[in-house]
Amino acid sequence: MLSSIEGLSSELASFLIELHSIPEKELAAILLEKADIHKDASKMHQTSPG
């Protein structure tokens, strides 16, 4: 169990390092893009009557 936690934390650490290497504006654009995708997906799941 402990080894899997260590593996996860090292993956998380490398992910955070990658995030820091992305300029803030690019990161914001990526997050907004993902948010738009989620909005579109939720629209498709909602069935409007009529």
| Model confidence pLDDT, tens digit, residues 1-50 | 567 878 888 888 888 888 778 888 888 888 889 888 777 777 766 665 55
pLDDT of residue 45: 63
Q: List Cα–Cα distances, 22 to 2, 5, 6, 18, in angstroms.
A: 31, 26, 25, 7
Q: List Cα–Cα distances, 2 to 5, 6, 11, 15, 38, in angstroms.
A: 5, 6, 14, 20, 34
pTM beyond 0.85, yes or no: no
